[in-house]
Amino acid sequence: MRTPDEELDTIRQAGLWRELRHVQAVHGPRVTLDGREFLNFSSNDYLGLAQHPALAEAARLAIDKFGTGSTASRLICGSLAPHHDLEDCIASLKHTEAALAFATGYATAVGTLTALAGKNDILILDKLCHASLVDGARLSGATIRVFPHNNLHRLEQLLQGATAKIAPTGRIIVVTESVFSMDGDLAPLAEIIALKEHFGVLLLLDEAHALGVLGPRGLGLADHLGLQNRVDLHMGTLGKGAGSSGGYLAACRPFIDLLINKARSFIYSTAPVPAQAAAATAALQLISSDQGHTLRERLRTNLADLATLLGSAKPASAIVPIPCGTNESALQAAETLRQAGLLVPAIRFPTVPRGQARLRLTLSAAHEPQDVATLAAALNSLPRST
């Protein structure tokens, strides 16, 4: 029998060793690690809402009224007013009949795909879909087809093949993201919608990194393109741009009822704490308000400033990948930045393909122009490795 130490050695030798960083304090875009303060360019809190007083106040009120725990799963006695308020808020913003809140985005992906797809169904995923969508698809037992990232021609071929062989009661779902988490680029959503409508199949769109960031009301790429009412299954997380935690699926009523009856990650799990649901609702209200618009403008200014200082194209989202190639050069670059007081993660296999290790930096509305200038100067003085 192999020992855990043997496995760990293999991981270390491949340059894939990971360990936890102990964050002792957070002050907006600054974090304290090992007693030293760093400028943080690794958080997904794109609008700086995780420390916003409106969210904290909503959470406190929910604790006062409902306590710290929800005491049971949603279907037993844990379905509290803050959960229903959150779901009503999501459905109203997404213009869907209903929405369902999950404990995390991961639980949403796994619960939704396993509830809506089974062995007679076909799931068609973009190659760069998040691990939670991949895991949900695998666990569902459905036939899985994968198209190269954003490749519409291959997607069309897969749709032709799938519609030719699907059973009469079978379901076909195209699964993709609006902002890809490790590249920060966008899906060609209008074209994907045209294809899925042509073939009469469903579309699940994961807006994880777009919520709060894109669209006139900050609801994501579908909002940005005016296509919200042509997406069948709207998914997202409340743990990134919404500065809280949890996941959601918004859709027409029958799909939500199916999830309530079949999604095992929803049914067999204690309901999220009421403070989380209340904070998430406050976040969504803020995101879709004029204040949210102002924060998005600040984020966009930071992104434009960074692009100017780096002499690169303006990023499509708040995620900026810097390619490094090997694990070693990505780790070395992250370490150089760390010594300069900047926290930027090196992303390696299996999160990204082998040989495509990178720095993945994220900007926030909470960064000051000086923070962006400091980052750009440090990046510009890194040795060019690729």
Ligand X SMILES: *Cc1c(COP(=O)(O)O)cnc(C)c1O
Please identify every residue annotated as catalytic: 44, 130, 177, 181, 206, 209, 240
Strand partners, 143: 122
How far is 237 from 245, CA to CA, in rounded Å? 7
- Smallest gap from residue 146 Cβ to ligand X (A): 16
Residues 70, 96, 104, 140: which binds ligand X (CB under 6 A)? Answer: 104
When the beta carbons of 29 and 272 are compared against ligand X, the nearer one is 272
Strand partners, 234: 205, 250
- Smallest gap from residue 133 Cβ to ligand X (A): 6
When the beta carbons of 132 and 288 are compared against ligand X, the nearer one is 132
DSSP state of 229: G
When the beta carbons of 179 and 378 are compared against ligand X, the nearer one is 179
- Smallest gap from residue 194 Cβ to ligand X (A): 23
Q: Does 276 bind ligand X (CB under 6 A)?
A: no
Q: Does 343 bind ligand X (CB under 6 A)?
A: no
Site for ligand X in 130-189 (CB under 6 A): 130, 132, 177, 181
When the beta carbons of 209 and 234 are compared against ligand X, the nearer one is 209
Q: With contact defined as beta carbons under 8 Å apart, do 365 and 371 qualify?
A: no
Q: Does 362 bind ligand X (CB under 6 A)?
A: no
Return phi, psi of residue 123, to 5°: -110, 130
- Smallest gap from residue 137 Cβ to ligand X (A): 12
Q: Does 206 bind ligand X (CB under 6 A)?
A: yes
Q: With contact defined as beta carbons under 8 Å apart, do 87 and 285 qualify?
A: no
When the beta carbons of 265 and 329 are compared against ligand X, the nearer one is 265
E strand intervals along 165-218: 172-177, 202-206
β-sheet with 319-325: strand ranges across: 319-325, 357-362, 346-347
Q: With contact defined as beta carbons under 8 Å apart, do 260 and 266 qualify?
A: yes
How far is 336 from 248, CA to CA, in rounded Å? 38
Q: Does 234 bind ligand X (CB under 6 A)?
A: no
Residues 176, 237, 265, 362: which binds ligand X (CB under 6 A)? Answer: 237
* # of chain residues touching ligand X (CB under 6 A): 14
CB-based contacts of 116: which residues, under 8 Å, 6+ apart?
Answer: 140, 171, 173, 233, 255, 258, 259
Type of residue found at 65: K
Helix (H) or strand (E) holding 125, with range, is strand 122-126
- Smallest gap from residue 180 Cβ to ligand X (A): 8
Q: Does 106 bind ligand X (CB under 6 A)?
A: yes
The contact set with ligand X (CB under 6 A) reads 104-106, 109, 130, 132, 177, 181, 206, 208-209, 237, 239, 247
